[in-house]
């Protein structure tokens, strides 16, 4: 494997407010417990390396056919071209939590303090929005829906208080709007291809929520889609595939599960690491499933037991993903 050591906020290779949250009158309990599942017999697990303390925020950019992700605790944005196998990263001065790209091809990243437009080659960044969050909160996970709206969550960085929120931001020029709250750790907003349904995780509650969206893309109902049991760990990042399957990373669960639209599990992929954080389809044909992991929270003994913890994995799972929609300018 080739690496290209170029540049640290040099590249290295190896005030806007939100609106009031919508209040849901009740949460319907449609729970799928995960004690029994079919273990997936897939072919083609590849470990690319690039270990991260807390790898997250995977994004396949169709503008340059590169994979992007972050190491939240080490303040880094990573870039990887699987075709040339060139990897590089840039280090910033605060936690960076996710990356997407705008309709103009510009990088947009969520930092602990807010959302910025970023020039990866220079490290320059310009603030786009700074949600009015408690000082102990930070941004955590994000995705763009089919209409180009950005959805992102916040969380208590100490993982103690339910101060996290879920936001929707219609474009780079508009204010983020709060659409739900009460999260300790929010994760994985992802929207179906037809824009009718959104999934979002309350990680410490081990709960995947399903929101039905109206014709304007706003939530109208909220219910429990899946409740993880202890053996499955906690739900983390998610991605939809082209067949409507929902892939969910298992923090503390050593793998990934795929849900059908009715909430049942039809596949489980086991990985050689416990802390699985995020998933994303990529490659020119969107037929590769990339997976970030973490070594955060592991003892020295556990790190010796799981030497691949924190690495980037690539899998062939036999289904394709959906192209990422750029964030509206």
Structure tokens at 29: 């309990």
Q: Within a domain: residue 60?
A: yes
Q: Within a domain: residue 4?
A: no
Condensed to tens digits (0 to 9), the pLDDT of residues 31-53 reads: 445 444 555 555 579 999 999 99
Site of tokens 């960044």: 125
Q: Within a domain: residue 324?
A: no
Q: Within a domain: residue 327?
A: no
236 counts as catalytic: yes
Q: What is the mean pLDDT of residues 187-197?
A: 96
pLDDT, residue 65, reads: 96
CB 254 within 8 A of CB 273: yes
pLDDT, residue 215, reads: 92
Q: What is the mean pLDDT of residues 292-297?
A: 97
pLDDT, residue 22, reads: 45
Condensed to tens digits (0 to 9), the pLDDT of residues 90-122 reads: 999 999 999 999 999 999 999 999 999 999 999
Structure tokens at 62: 């169709």
Q: Out of 230, 236, 243, 266, which one is annotated catalytic?
A: 236
Q: Is the pLDDT of residue 3 over 70?
A: no
pLDDT, residue 109, reads: 98
pLDDT, residue 20, reads: 39
pLDDT, residue 7, reads: 27
Choice between 7 and 282, residue whose per-residue pLDDT is larger: 282
Give me the CATH number covering residue 312: 2.120.10.30
Q: Measured between alpha carbons, how far is 155 from 162 in angstroms, rounded to an integer?
A: 8
In percent, how much of the chain has pLDDT > 70?
Answer: 87
Full domain range(s) for residue 286: 11-18+25-316
CB 84 within 8 A of CB 64: no
Q: Within a domain: residue 5?
A: no
Q: Within a domain: residue 237?
A: yes
**Averaged pLDDT score across all residues of the chain:** 89
Beta-strand (E) ranges in 42-113? 43-49, 55-61, 66-71, 76-81, 86-91, 96-101, 107-111
Look at the chain and report how many structural domains it folds into: 1
Q: Within a domain: residue 81?
A: yes
Q: Within a domain: residue 322?
A: no
62-79 b/e with 16+ CB inside 10 Å = b? Answer: eeeebbbbbbbebbbbbb
């Amino acid at each position: 494997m080739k690496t290209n050591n170029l540049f640290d906020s040099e590249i290295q290779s190896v005030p806007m407010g939100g609106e009031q949250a919508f209040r849901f009158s009740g949460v319907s309990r449609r729970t799928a417990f995960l004690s029994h599942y079919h273990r997936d017999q897939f072919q083609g697990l590849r470990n690319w390396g690039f270990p991260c303390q807390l790898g997250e925020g995977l994004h396949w950019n169709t503008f340059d056919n590169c994979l992007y992700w972050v190491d939240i605790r080490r303040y880094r944005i990573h870039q990887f071209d699987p075709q040339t196998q060139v990897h590089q990263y840039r280090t910033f001065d605060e936690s960076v939590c996710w990356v997407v790209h705008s309709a103009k091809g510009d990088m947009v990243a969520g930092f602990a303090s807010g959302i910025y437009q970023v020039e990866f080659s220079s490290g320059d960044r310009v603030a786009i929005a700074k949600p009015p969050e408690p000082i102990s909160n930070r941004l955590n996970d994000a995705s763009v829906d089919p209409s180009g709206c950005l959805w992102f969550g916040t969380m208590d960085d100490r993982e103690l208080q339910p101060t996290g929120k879920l936001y929707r931001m219609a474009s780079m020029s508009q204010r983020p709007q709060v659409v739900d709250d009460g999260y300790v750790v929010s994760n994985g907003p992802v929207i179906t291809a037809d824009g009718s349904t959104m999934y979002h995780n309350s990680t410490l509650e081990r709960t995947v929520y399903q929101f039905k969206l109206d014709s304007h893309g706003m939530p109208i109902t909220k219910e429990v889609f899946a409740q993880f049991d202890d053996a499955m760990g906690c739900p983390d990042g998610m991605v939809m595939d082209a067949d409507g399957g929902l892939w969910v990373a298992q923090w503390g669960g050593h793998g990934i599960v795929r849900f059908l639209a009715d909430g049942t599990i039809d596949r489980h992929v086991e990985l050689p690491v416990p802390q699985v954080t995020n998933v994303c389809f990529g490659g020119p044909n969107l037929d590769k499933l990339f997976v970030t992991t973490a070594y955060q929270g592991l003892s020295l003994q556990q790190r010796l037991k799981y030497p691949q913890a924190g690495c980037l994995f690539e899998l062939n799972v036999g289904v394709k993903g959906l192209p990422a929609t750029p964030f509206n300018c």
